[in-house]
Amino acid sequence: MAAPTCLAGRWHGCYDTENGIVLMMLVGLPVAALVVGALALATSDWRRAVAEVGLVYGTVPLVWLTLMPGPGAGVGPGRVSLIPLQDLITMGPLGIGGNLLILAPLGFFAPIRFAALASVPRILALAAGCSLLIEVSQYVFRLDRVSSVDDVLVNAAGAVLAGLASRRWWRTGAGPESPRERRTRAGSSASAD
């Protein structure tokens, strides 16, 4: 367990274990909330602030977890599994659930923040591309992990499901992105009349 190491101020043990990353994610939650508040005050757009912080705070630690080296990292060649649905059996419920969650914050918050991503095919393409990048990185850096097409499929499915869960808050159109910009535009059109 990394908690005693982290609490003792030995940060090396905090960021190189799964437990340490999860602990740091929980400890960082109040900081993330403060950043959301500061961004919302600066932009007058709570939805945008939550989406921006959620994208980073939710996605980066989970991707970090997938890029952590295993015990045999750098020793042997990377392993690849290119047959779809073959690894699902060996993943088990915990592995499938974890893979569904890895890019879920990206799928949930990206269409809220960016109107251009507010469609299921675009979320799927973004998530599949990001997941493919993760899997290629695992192979190239020889992290003692299996680079699997099933990981790409499940990660992308998780992002799409999360995106569908956030559908009511998606940005639409190319209009102004914040209430402040809307007020500025309304004020300038009223003065032009």
What tens digit of pLDDT does each residue of 11-57 get?
666 677 888 888 888 989 999 999 999 999 999 999 999 999 999 99
What tens digit of pLDDT does each residue of 171-182 get?
775 555 555 555
pLDDT of res. 192: 54
Its pTM stands at: 0.81
pLDDT of res. 74: 80
**pLDDT at residue 102 above 70?**
yes
**At which residue do the structure tokens 């969650």 appear?**
101
Give CA–CA dist 126/154, Å, rounded.
13
**pLDDT at residue 5 above 80?**
no
pLDDT band at 189 (very low <50, low <70, confident <90, very high): low
Question: Domain boundaries in the chain?
Answer: 3-192
